[in-house]
């Protein structure tokens, strides 16, 4: 039994990181209709910035984390303002290509600034072993789960109960109508990018704490995208749940079947789900896919 519980718990931790990035994909798509293929790279860049603040400048974790969120928001807003906004109205393919180009630029820039070596990320939340019954987790893994829960609840509450969140939902439903109602759609788009960037930054910090910060971190973005499709690209909470499903199914399939199924189990689930619900588990039926 402890085998099953431990495998599931580790899968949840991995899934929480997938889920956070999947949520970041979803927040942008839901509000602006853009799929940001540089999401993994933005996560990596902010994780590197966090590492520099925490390790090089030796800022305490409680100060570093909010500072990274602010920086991430600025980066997200800047990308929207400088790259995405001028391209509004262009074919979706062109915007996708722009985000792919941005991804390559960020990857190269990261290596240029920080080098190619992987480095550990020490922080006050790291290093302890927590035993919850038969389940053993590192403190940084528990931290990742806590961040996932807080962000999920926070995003839900923000969308549901705040005026800005309501404006974001209105913009997602009908941009023209939102404009006519006096909503500053441009500002809403910027905000979506900023929020998405903050979520990605938190995912990056969790990943770097649990493993290391390395130039291959961007790959996590690629692994998380299917989770967003599974949960519904226009459903942030659905995407978060998709992440958990992918993480747990990957671990269970490795633990009980093996034979390389870890990598493909998530995709098998996605294919099965999309055959029944082409718009994802929690996506809207009229979703237009690109």
Q: Which is nearer to another protein, 118 or 181 (CB)?
A: 118
**Cβ of residue 130: shortest distance to another protein, in angstroms?**
10
Q: Which is nearer to another protein, 85 or 262 (CB)?
A: 262
* Residues near 275 by beta carbon (within 8 Å), at least 6 away in sequence: none
Q: Which is nearer to another protein, 143 or 279 (CB)?
A: 143
**Cβ of residue 89: shortest distance to another protein, in angstroms?**
36
Distance CA 33, CA 92 (A): 9
Q: Give residues in contact with another protein (CB under 8 A).
A: 3, 6-7, 10-11, 13-14, 111, 116-120, 122, 129, 136-138, 207, 211-212, 214-216, 219, 250-252, 254-255, 258-260, 262-263
**Residue 285, CA atoms < 13 Å, CB-side half-sphere:** 1
Tokens at residue 118, please? 């992987």
**Cβ of residue 263: shortest distance to another protein, in angstroms?**
5
Q: Which is nearer to another protein, 29 or 121 (CB)?
A: 121
Cα torsion for 133, 134, 138, 139, to the nearest 10°? 0
Q: Can you list the alpha helix ranges (DSSP code H) found in 118-184?
A: 139-161, 163-173, 175-180
**Cβ of residue 51: shortest distance to another protein, in angstroms?**
13
- Termini Cα distance of the chain: 43
- Three-class DSSP category at 136: strand
**Residue 126, CA atoms < 13 Å, CB-side half-sphere:** 16
**Cβ of residue 202: shortest distance to another protein, in angstroms?**
17
Q: Which is nearer to another protein, 46 or 171 (CB)?
A: 46
DSSP 91-122: -HHHHHHHHHHHHHHHHHHHHHHH-S--B---
Q: Which is nearer to another protein, 2 or 174 (CB)?
A: 2
Q: Which is nearer to another protein, 22 or 137 (CB)?
A: 137
Distance CA 123, CA 142 (A): 14
* Residues near 280 by beta carbon (within 8 Å), at least 6 away in sequence: 229, 230, 231, 232, 233, 235, 238, 242, 273, 274, 287
**Cβ of residue 98: shortest distance to another protein, in angstroms?**
24
**Cβ of residue 213: shortest distance to another protein, in angstroms?**
11
């Amino acid at each position: 039994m402890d085998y099953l519980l431990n495998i599931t718990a580790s899968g949840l931790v991995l899934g929480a990181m997938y889920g956070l990035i999947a949520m970041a994909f979803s927040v942008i798509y839901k509000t602006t209709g853009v799929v940001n293929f540089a999401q993994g790279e933005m996560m990596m860049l902010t994780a590197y910035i966090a590492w520099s603040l925490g390790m090089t400048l030796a800022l305490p974790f409680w100060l570093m984390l909010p500072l990274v969120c602010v920086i991430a928001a600025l980066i997200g807003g800047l990308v929207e303002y400088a790259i995405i906004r001028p391209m509004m109205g262009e074919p979706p393919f062109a915007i996708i290509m722009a985000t792919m180009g941005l991804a390559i630029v960020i990857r190269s820039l990261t290596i240029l600034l920080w080098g190619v070596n992987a480095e550990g990320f020490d922080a006050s939340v790291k290093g302890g072993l927590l035993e919850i019954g038969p389940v053993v987790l590192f403190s940084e893994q528990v931290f990742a789960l806590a961040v996932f829960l807080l962000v999920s609840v926070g995003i839900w509450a923000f969308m549901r109960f705040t005026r800005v969140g309501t404006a974001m939902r209105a913009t997602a439903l009908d941009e023209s109508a939102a404009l006519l109602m006096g909503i500053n759609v441009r500002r809403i788009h910027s905000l979506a990018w900023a929020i998405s960037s903050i979520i990605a930054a938190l995912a990056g910090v969790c990943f770097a704490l649990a493993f290391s910060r390395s130039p291959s971190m961007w790959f996590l973005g690629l692994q998380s995208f299917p989770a967003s499709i599974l949960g519904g690209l226009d459903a942030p909470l659905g995407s978060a749940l998709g992440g958990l499903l992918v993480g747990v199914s990957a671990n269970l399939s490795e633990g009980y079947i093996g034979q390389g199924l870890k990598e493909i189990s998530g995709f098998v689930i996605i294919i099965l789900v999309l055959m029944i619900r082409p718009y994802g588990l929690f996506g809207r039926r009229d979703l237009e896919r690109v």
